[in-house]
Chains A and B, each alone.
Chain A
C-alpha cells in the first residue's frame, strides 16, 4: 500500500498521507468544509453530517471521517451537497431556542452562523421535545446547560472524556429524547464534574455556556 494518496477536491489536486480525511485534505487546499461536530482537537465522529461531500458514491460522505482514496474526485459545494446541508440546518433549527445563550453573549454560535451562511432563516419543521425533559440545568456555578440548544454533536462528551479525561459526560435516553448527561444523569452541579469548562469551551451552540457572561454582549475589537 502506498504511503500517500492523491485526490482532487473542487478541481484542485492534493497529495496527502494515506489515511488522511477528506476534511483535512481540503483544509490543506484552503477549502473550509463546514462542521458542527468536528474539531481538529478531537477524534472525528461524523455525527452532525454537516461536512458531507460528493465523492460520486451513492451517498454523500462525511468528510471528517472519510479517508482519502487514490484518484478520488470530490465536490464540496455541489447543489446536492448544499441542498443537503440546508435540510440539515433546517432540521437542527426546528426547535432551536431564540435567543441562543452563546449568540447572545459571545456571538459565536456556530449553528446560527452556518444557518445564516446557507440562508436558512426559518424551519418548516416543528420541534419534538418531550415536555417532561427539563430544558435547563443551572446547578453548576459556572456552566449553564440548555438542552433545547443541544444538537448532540458530542463535542462536549469528547472534550470531557478524550481531552480532559474526566469521564463525567455521556449521552442518555434514546430517539428524540436523547440528551447529554452527567454521571448517571444527575444535575451537572451534583455530578463529579470538576468544572474544567472544556465542554463549555468546545460547545458550538447555546447548549453549554459560561454563566459569567449572562447578560453581557461582547463585541470584539479588531486584534492587531
Chain B
C-alpha cells in the first residue's frame, strides 16, 4: 500500500460560506495542518446537508498563495496603482491574483514594524485631519467578535463612524425598509418554517445556487404541498419546483407588487383584523395601489393581467404565506421601495407572527446578520442603537471610555466618493475586496490610489491589497474561533481547526494590537470575553455566551438559553416599533435605461461554485475545476441577433468600461437581458455596473445597467 497514514482529529464548526450557516465537522490532518474532509452535522439550518462549497471548498485555507508575513510597500512602488490588473483578459487563463506580479512591489517586514507603521500612519491622519478623514471596511465573513472590535476601533480609536461592510452591497435596502416598517432588520421566521407554509413567494433570489441548502428545504416543502410562487427576471432553478413562475421585466418589481396588492384588496383577500390591530398607514397604501390595476402594469412588467391576478390570488388565498427575497429585490436604486412592497404584501394579508408566514430576506454572507448586529454599519452602534441618538451615544461613550462622533458615518460607496474627493485620507480594510465587489471598479481604482495610507488585512493578496501601503496576514475561518449569526438569526460557534500559516495572526489580535498602539486598550483574555462585552451592550445577544452556545448554537432572541433553542418565529404579538408601518411605493424609472447604443440590461450575480470575488473559491481545487471561468449569459434570440454563438468570445461594454468574456447561450435569461457572474476578476462584471445607489439603503444597483455585446475574435490561449 502506498497510502499515507493521517492522524485525524474531528472539529465541530460551521461552514464559512453563505448565510445558511450549515453545521459541519472538519476532519483535520493535524500533522500537516490541513482539513481533509468536511462532513455535515445535524445543525438547525442544515440537518446534515451541505452543498458543493461547504463539502469540497475548504482547501483554499492551505493554498500556496496564503500571506504569511506582514508586507510593506517598497519606496519605488509609488505612485500606487493596480499591479495585476493587466494580467486579465481572454489570452490569460482565469484565476485569482498571482502573487508573482504583486510581491516584487512589497518587502517583508516584522510585525513590530508593520503595526507601528499602521498605527502611526492612521493616528497621524486622525491627529492632522480629524477622525472623519479615516474609514474602515470590515467584513461579513468575519466573526461577531471581530466585527465588534473593528467598529469599536473605528468609533473609539479613529474617532469616526465611517465604518461599513458588504451589507451595503447586499441587503442594506431591505434592512432600511424593515427598520422603517417593523423596527427590526432580522428575519421573522426561519427558512425551515417554509414546511408549514401553504404558499411561499420566492422573489429576486436564486437559492439553489446562492443558498443551496436552504433551497433543499424549499424544494422539500414544495414536494410536501407548499406552493411556491417564484418571481424573477431570470429563471432560477427553483422555478422547476414552483406552482407558478412569473418572469417580470427587470426593475418593474414595485409595479408588479402594487398590482398584486391591488387585486388582493379588490377581491377582499386582505386580513382585516390584522390590518386593524397590527398595522398603520393602510389607507395610504390602499389609495396608492388603487392606481395599479393589473391591466395598467401588464405591459411594463411584461406579464399579462391574468397572470398577475392569478399570482395575487395564489398568495392572497393562502392561510399561511411566507416571503423570501434576495439581491434581485435589494440591489436596485429602488431597492428600499421593492422591500417596502413585500413588507406591505405580507402585512395586508396577515402573514407574520405565525408558523409558515413571515419575512425572510435571505442573507448572503455567513455573518452579514451578525456583523450588522455588532455595529459594523455607519449609522448604528451594536444592536441597531443609532449613533445620532444622544442617549445611545452617551451610553457607549461611558462603556468605551472615549468621546464618540455624533454624526452618522459614510457608507461603502460614500467612502469611495470621499477618497476620490480627498475627504477620506486613510483606510483600514479587513477582509473585503471592494476593487472587485463594488460598482464601477475604475472609480474604485482611482479612489484607492488617492489614499494617503491604506492597510489591508487579508489571507490572500487581493486586488484591493495591491493599493495597500501595508498588508497584514490574517487568519482563515478555520484558523480561529468566533461566533457567526446566520440568516435565521442562529448564533453558532465556528471553532478553530487549524493553525494560521507562517507568521499570520488571528484577526482579532491584529485589531487589538493596532487599537492599543493608537491609544485604545483592548485587553481581553480570550475571544469568548470579546463576545461577552459585545453581548453586554445588546438586548438580542445578552443571554448568550460561547459556553451556552455549545456545538448547536441558539436563535436569538433566546431569553432562556439553558432550556430553549431560542425563537424561530418572532413578533407574534407586536413589532419592535409597535404597529407595522405600511409605506406606499411608486415605480421609478431605471437610472440608466437601455438605448440603441446600449440595448441590453445587465444583471449580475453569483454561481453555485463561487463566492463573491473568488479569493477563496478560485483557490479551491474542486470548485475551480467545476467552474473555471466567467461568462455572459444571453438569450438564444439575442445571441443570434448579435451573431454570437455559444462559447464565442464577446466584448461587453457599458458607459464605464469593457470586459471580454465567453458567451453562454441559454434561454433561462430573458430576451433583452444578459447575466454576468461577479466572481471572475479577468471578466469583472463590476467594470460595467453603475455606481448609482438607492437613496435610503445606499445600495448600488448591481442588477441594472445598460450594455452592448459584440462578438470578438480571440486567438487561442498561448
Over the window 149-191 of chain A, the binary record of Cβ atoms lying under 8 Å from chain B Cβ atoms (1 yes, 0 no) is 0000000000000111100000000000000000000000000
Q: Is the CB of A223 within 8 A of B4?
A: no
Q: Is the CB of B2 within 8 A of A165?
A: no
Residues of A contacting B55 with CB < 8 Å? Answer: 142, 195-197, 201
- A195 contacts which of B5, B39, B216, B622 (Cβ < 8 Å)? B622
B196 lies within 8 A of chain A by Cβ: no
Residues of B contacting A221 with CB < 8 Å? Answer: 7-10, 30
- A197 contacts which of B56, B59, B223 (Cβ < 8 Å)? B56
A43 to chain B, nearest CB (A): 11
Interchain CA distance A223-B9 in the complex, whole Å: 7
B191 to chain A, nearest CB (A): 14
Interchain CA distance A216-B622 in the complex, whole Å: 17
Residues of B contacting A197 with CB < 8 Å? Answer: 50, 52, 55-56
Interchain CA distance A141-B621 in the complex, whole Å: 9
A215 lies within 8 A of chain B by Cβ: yes
A220 lies within 8 A of chain B by Cβ: yes
A216 to chain B, nearest CB (A): 5
- A220 contacts which of B10, B56, B241 (Cβ < 8 Å)? B10
- A219 contacts which of B8, B208, B216, B621 (Cβ < 8 Å)? B8
A8 lies within 8 A of chain B by Cβ: no
Q: Is the CB of A41 within 8 A of B47?
A: yes
A158 to chain B, nearest CB (A): 12
Q: Is the CB of A194 within 8 A of B8?
A: no
Q: Is the CB of B52 within 8 A of A216?
A: no
- A216 contacts which of B3, B39, B48, B208 (Cβ < 8 Å)? B3
With A194-B52, A194-B212, A196-B212 already in contact, the answer to whether A210 and B6 are too (CB < 8 A) is no
- B625 contacts which of A141, A163, A218, A220 (Cβ < 8 Å)? A141
B153 lies within 8 A of chain A by Cβ: no
A106 lies within 8 A of chain B by Cβ: yes
Residues of A contacting B1 with CB < 8 Å? Answer: 104, 217
- B36 contacts which of A104, A142, A195, A218 (Cβ < 8 Å)? A218
Interchain CA distance A44-B55 in the complex, whole Å: 25
Residues of A contacting B621 with CB < 8 Å? Answer: 141, 212
Residues of A contacting B47 with CB < 8 Å? Answer: 41
B220 lies within 8 A of chain A by Cβ: yes
CB-nearest residue of chain A relative to B241? Answer: A165
CB-nearest residue of chain A relative to B39? Answer: A201
Interface residues of B in 49-75 (CB under 8 A from A): 49-52, 55-56, 59
Interchain CA distance A164-B47 in the complex, whole Å: 11
Over the window 194-224 of chain A, the binary record of Cβ atoms lying under 8 Å from chain B Cβ atoms (1 yes, 0 no) is 1111100100000000101101111111010
B608 lies within 8 A of chain A by Cβ: yes
Interface residues of A in 100-121 (CB under 8 A from B): 104-106
Residues of A contacting B223 with CB < 8 Å? Answer: 162, 165
Residues of A contacting B37 with CB < 8 Å? Answer: 106, 210, 212-213, 218
- B3 contacts which of A141, A212, A217 (Cβ < 8 Å)? A217
Q: Is the CB of B216 within 8 A of A212?
A: no
Interchain CA distance A60-B544 in the complex, whole Å: 51
With A201-B55, A210-B37 already in contact, the answer to whether A217 and B49 are too (CB < 8 A) is no
B626 lies within 8 A of chain A by Cβ: yes
Residues of B contacting A196 with CB < 8 Å? Answer: 49-52, 55, 212
Interface residues of A in 66-116 (CB under 8 A from B): 104-106
B630 lies within 8 A of chain A by Cβ: no
Q: Is the CB of B48 within 8 A of A41?
A: yes
Interchain CA distance A162-B217 in the complex, whole Å: 10
Interchain CA distance A106-B10 in the complex, whole Å: 12
B664 lies within 8 A of chain A by Cβ: no
Interchain CA distance A105-B29 in the complex, whole Å: 13
B270 to chain A, nearest CB (A): 33
Q: Is the CB of A164 within 8 A of B4?
A: no
CB-nearest residue of chain B relative to A161? Answer: B223
Q: Is the CB of B3 within 8 A of A215?
A: yes
B303 lies within 8 A of chain A by Cβ: no
Residues of B contacting A163 with CB < 8 Å? Answer: 49, 216, 220
Residues of A contacting B215 with CB < 8 Å? Answer: 165
Q: Is the CB of A104 within 8 A of B52?
A: no
Q: Is the CB of A219 within 8 A of B7?
A: yes
Residues of B contacting A210 with CB < 8 Å? Answer: 37
The 4 A-B residue pairs with the shortest CB-CB distance in the complex, in nearest-first order:
A165-B219, A197-B55, A195-B52, A141-B625
* Given pairs A162-B223, A195-B52, A217-B3, 5 additional interface contacts (CB within 8 A): A163-B220, A165-B216, A194-B52, A195-B609, A220-B10
A-B contact list, 29 entries, CB within 8 Å: A104-B3, A141-B621, A142-B52, A142-B56, A163-B49, A164-B49, A164-B216, A165-B215, A165-B216, A195-B52, A195-B622, A195-B626, A196-B52, A196-B212, A197-B52, A197-B55, A197-B56, A201-B40, A201-B55, A213-B36, A213-B37, A215-B3, A216-B36, A217-B5, A218-B8, A221-B7, A221-B9, A223-B9, A223-B10
Q: Point out residues on B near A: beta carbons under 8 Å.
A: 1-10, 27, 29-30, 36-37, 39-40, 47-52, 55-56, 59, 208, 212, 215-216, 219-220, 223, 241, 608-609, 621-622, 625-626
Q: Point out residues on A near B: beta carbons under 8 Å.
A: 41, 104-106, 141-142, 162-165, 194-198, 201, 210, 212-213, 215-221, 223
